[in-house]
Amino acid sequence: MRRTSSGALALLALSFLVASSCEQAPPVVLAVPAPAEARAEVAAAPEAPPAPASQDENEPDNLEEQRARLIETIQRAMELPEERVQVLRDVFALSPYLSQGNPQLTVHPMSRAECRKVRAEAGVRDPESPRCGAPFMAPLYNPAAGQREGDARVCIDRFEFPGIPCEYPVVYARANEAATLCRAVGKRLCDAHEWEGACAGALRPPEEEYAFDRDRLQATHKHNTTREIRWAYEGWRDPYRCATFGWRAAKCTGDWDKCGSYTYPAGSFPSCRSPFGVYDLHGNVAEHMNLPLAPGELASLGDGGVTEMKGSWFGFFGKLPHEDDCRWRAPDWHETRVLSPVSHRNYHLGFRCCKDIEGESEAGTIQDIPAGEGVR
């Protein structure tokens, strides 16, 4: 058994070249206070039952035990029916790598018990919203437009998948696996603008957030040059607030047998919290999102867009390999369709889920999720 220790690929050179002779408007820098509902003192949401001490301090040394314990934790925390749990088992079984990190190499910098202690000492109070109808989720809306929680039409997980406080994020997920796992727990993959709104404290309508009349390169350029710049927390970028202190093994080349996933338990940095009460939008793992290139490709209509990565991916030791403010969008790095069976996966790439308030997403079945060989 591996004991949890107490306590990017080399710095990415992202070059976003856009041929344009137009003068660029400077990005708008705003500070958005937390919505009144998020500031209100309300009863804290019940957290998942603590794992037994023998499990909490020692990580399984094989993939089968790690996955079995994770799925049991998800089932218990979310009270899932057996048919949905079986989809989870099937998705994991079809992937040679989908996990919380290679159990032979991963040494987490913080244990689950330490995470719970940190959150308790910080007096963390995460309200459970009846609007979402699921634990550990936050409703999204636009306070600047006069909206309140009752106007929300979508919710987002407060924590990276599995969406449970003080649980380690799932990594090595392809985008189609992420989409299927979200559907299995009654949710769906988030659209890019939903993640951005959850981070910035204001969810704007899709027609304001996407230039559907342009290709991705041009649309992203337009978005980034006019975006509001802010972080999930108040003030300017402060990597010390978030889980940006993981590391990359010296011999890590991105391959399963050379890279551990040195991730923190989700929510272990209480001040790395957005106005809506969503954690780890900076730091910890990168997150798969759906980026629609047309109105019909919104995730609420079926995960039909292309891949987009969010979060401070590969931001180790507080370094900044790329912009990481809430509304920045990446170029088309490793782009595929979300439902492609060969989308990118690695030791530091996870996801989080959203949920339409109108009703649960269908659990569905697994399609075109190959076991495959090698890590792309």
pLDDT tens for residues 144-172? 999 999 999 999 999 999 999 999 999 99
- Name which of 340, 308, 307 is nearest 322 in CA terms: 308
- What pLDDT does 24 receive? 34
52-60 contacts: CB < 8 A, separation 24 or more? 53/113, 56/111, 56/112, 56/113, 57/3, 57/4, 57/111, 57/113, 58/1, 58/2, 58/3, 58/4, 59/1, 59/2, 59/3, 59/4, 59/103, 59/106, 59/108, 60/1, 60/2, 60/103
pLDDT score of 360: 56
Look-up of token digits 């790598």: 97
Cα–Cα nearest to 200, from 114, 300, 278: 278
Minimal CA–CA distance to 329: which of 296, 307, 347? 307
Strands (E), 97-141: 137-140
Residue 7's pLDDT is 40
* Measured distance CA(271)–CA(118) in Å, rounded: 11
φ, ψ (nearest 5 deg) of residue 119? -70, -40
Q: Which ranges in 190-333 belong to alpha helices (H)? A: 192-200, 206-209, 216-226
The overall average pLDDT reported for the chain is 82
Which pLDDT does position 332 carry in this prediction? 83
On whether the CB atoms of residues 165 and 267 are closer than 8 A, the answer is yes
Q: Identify the pLDDT of residue 46.
A: 39
On whether the CB atoms of residues 113 and 56 are closer than 8 A, the answer is yes
> Which tens digit of pLDDT belongs to each residue from 341-350?
999 999 999 9
pLDDT score at 365: 54
Q: Backbone phi, then psi, for 44, in 5-degree steps?
A: -70, 145
d(CA 356, CA 128): 16
Block mean pLDDT (10 aa), the chain, length 376: 38 25 35 41 38 59 97 96 97 97 93 97 92 96 96 98 98 97 97 98 97 95 95 89 81 88 95 97 94 96 92 64 88 91 94 87 52 37
Q: Using CA atoms, how far apart are residues 326 and 344, in angstroms rounded to an integer?
A: 22
Residue 238: the pLDDT is 86
Distance CA 198, CA 160 (A): 13
Taken as a whole, the chain contains a residue count of 376
